[in-house]
Amino acid sequence: MGLIKKQNIIISNPETRDFLADAYYPETNGKLPLVIFVHGYKGYKDWGAWNLMAEKFAKTGFFFVKFNSSHNGTTVEDPHNFGDLEAFGNNNYSKELSDLGAVIDFFSQDNNVDDQKIILVGHSRGGGISIIKTYEDERINGLITLASVDTLDRFPKEAGLGKWKNDGVYYVVNGRTKQEMPHYYQFYEDFEKDVHRFDVERAMEMAKAHVLIIHGTNDESVPVKEAEHLHILNPNSELFLIENANHTFGAKEPWESGELPTDLNVVTEKCIDFINLKMETI
């Protein structure tokens, strides 16, 4: 069975701006479950070993999509680098949710997709976005979080907020690229005006989908207690911890091996087994 890869498909979102998506799926005349991967903060669709993960999903019978959110700092012309820091600074959760909705709308209409079987796989901040979207969009019947946050209220507190408001911007250094990446105060304003919508805890409690929570016990960015908290909020979920795994499950950028890192391979196989088991009931 051959594998089809359609890369850098332009998705138009009138609420934000054009962005790129990839679709990986096996050659088939049948309808496949749609699995959409949502990257996290300072992430992008081609980072590290995500391409290898996409291939593994597709080879086992899924229509796998990954995409760059419109304001993640990449561009349609250059999807691999943070060449548009102005866009990055103007990103917010409303835009990320809007982009995810546009991706679901676009690919659920594909002739190879079973639109009754839609699964989100969100990494890190993308996990929080995926949790909210799952609660909001009844089309989604599977949710998998990878090293997910349990709140989107992740802003500089106390004196930091006042300084941010006065300055209009604060910067975070990207450890890999050494770029100073701006965050304009509009990000916090967008969060505050719709704070109930962005309540990850409430969304997790209310989510009706089948839920799998995956986390590494040695996550240096998002403590494993956040996964345990998500599981408590949704007791019907399954919690799967990977001993000593880090935030990216062994992957890094660039990833030069042709094989998945050991921990990310375990993650991928667990996701595939979970989806196959749960989608039988739909």
pLDDT at 1 over 80: no
SS3 call for 143: strand
Taking only the tens place, the pLDDT of each residue in 249-272 is 999 999 999 999 999 999 999 999
Pairing of strands 63-67, 19-26: antiparallel
C-alpha 225/C-alpha 230 separation (Å) is: 9
C-alpha 91/C-alpha 167 separation (Å) is: 17
Taking only the tens place, the pLDDT of each residue in 30-51 is 999 999 999 999 999 999 999 9
Within 13 Å and on the Cβ side, how many CA atoms surround 38? 31
pTM: 0.98
Q: Give the chain's domains with CATH numbers.
A: 3-152+200-279 (3.40.50.1820)
Q: E strands of the chain, at which residues?
A: 3-11, 19-26, 32-38, 63-67, 113-123, 140-146, 169-173, 180-184, 210-216, 238-242
φ, ψ for residue 114 (rounded to 5)?
-90, 105
Q: Is there a contact between 191 and 153 (Cβ–Cβ < 8 Å)? A: yes
Taking only the tens place, the pLDDT of each residue in 77-110 is 999 999 999 999 999 999 999 999 999 999 999 9
CA 198 distance to own-chain centroid: 15
Taking only the tens place, the pLDDT of each residue in 185-214 is 999 999 999 999 999 999 999 999 999 999
Largest CA distance in the chain: 58
Terminal-residue alpha carbon distance, the chain: 25
Supply the mean pLDDT for the chain: 97
Within 13 Å and on the Cβ side, how many CA atoms surround 160? 8
Distances (CA, A) of 273 to 1, 77, 230: 20, 36, 21
List the one residue out of 187, 33, 199 whose CA is nearest residue 131: 199
C-alpha 86/C-alpha 229 separation (Å) is: 34
Taking only the tens place, the pLDDT of each residue in 56-84 is 999 999 999 999 999 999 999 999 999 99
Which residue has 């909020």 as its token pair?
A: 233
